[in-house]
Structure 1
Amino acid sequence: MSVDAATVRRIAHLARIAVKDEEVEHLQGELNAMLAFVEQLSQVDVTGVEPMTSVMPMAMKMRKDAVTDGEIADVVVANAPATEDHFFVVPKVVE
């Protein structure tokens, strides 16, 4: 795949990047080099290679999945200027 000047300008517009006309040719070469590298990577044979999430094998620590209310409702609303039944009371802003 090859990127032309119009595509460079379109990418710059989508990324909200100001690109001067004299920079377009350089950016076109940079983008084409990146795409060529990605194409080169797609030629690598990865048969038998398992996907990995880290370079070091590890297992995540698991905890019991239990629903709780935190049991600290009084502490949570302690500094609130106004509360009612463990809820914050705020002024109505929408009619």
Structure 2
Amino acid sequence: MALDLQTVRKVATLARLSLSEADLQKMTEQLSAILTYVDQLGALNTDGVEPMAHPLPIQNVFRDDEPVPSLPVDAALANAPKRVGDFFGVPAVLDQSEAS
């Protein structure tokens, strides 16, 4: 699929790219080559090919989720900008007259 210079100029504008005329010409050739290759891929027979999210087998590499002791309250609140008892102090986000 060949692109014309006007189409590439419009794509560059949409992408907020400021390209010189030489760059526009180069991008026209390169984008046309990419779209031609994608057209070739579209012609492949993929009947019976199972869709996949990744070409390689993937496994979870995270550790098992096991309960551990929590951080002590004093350590958790040591750098808090405002502390109210055993809690973080934060500004009110609700109008008190609407709270139920």
TM-score range, shorter chain: 0.5 to 0.7
Q: Name the CA shift for 1:21/1:57 in 2 (closer, same or farther; >3 Å).
A: closer
Structure 1 segments unaligned to the other structure (5+ residues): 65-69, 91-95
Which stretch of the first structure deviates more once superposed, 75-84 or 42-51?
75-84
Local SS of the residue matching 2:33? helix
Q: Name the CA shift for 1:23/1:56 in 2 (closer, same or farther; >3 Å).
A: closer
Contact 2:9 / 2:24 at 8 angstroms: preserved in 1? yes
Instruction: Give identity over the alignment, percent.
Output: 33
Give the paired residue count. Answer: 86
1:21 aligns with 2:6: no
Which amino acid is the alignment partner of residue 89 of structure 2? Answer: F
Match of 2:45 in 1: 45
1:80 aligns with 2:84: no
Deviation at 1:61, TM superposition (A): 6.4
Deviation at 1:22, TM superposition (A): 2.9
Q: Deviations over 1:28-79 (max 9, x none)?
A: 1111111110000001111111123334334436867xxxxx9437232222
TM-score, L = length of structure 2: 0.63
Q: Name the CA shift for 1:24/1:81 in 2 (closer, same or farther; >3 Å).
A: closer
Q: Name the CA shift for 1:8/1:55 in 2 (closer, same or farther; >3 Å).
A: closer
Contact 1:9 / 1:24 at 8 angstroms: preserved in 2? yes
What is the RMSD computed on CA atoms of the aligned residues? 2.9
Deviation at 1:25, TM superposition (A): 2.2
Which amino acid is the alignment partner of residue 19 of structure 2? Answer: V
Match of 2:9 in 1: 9
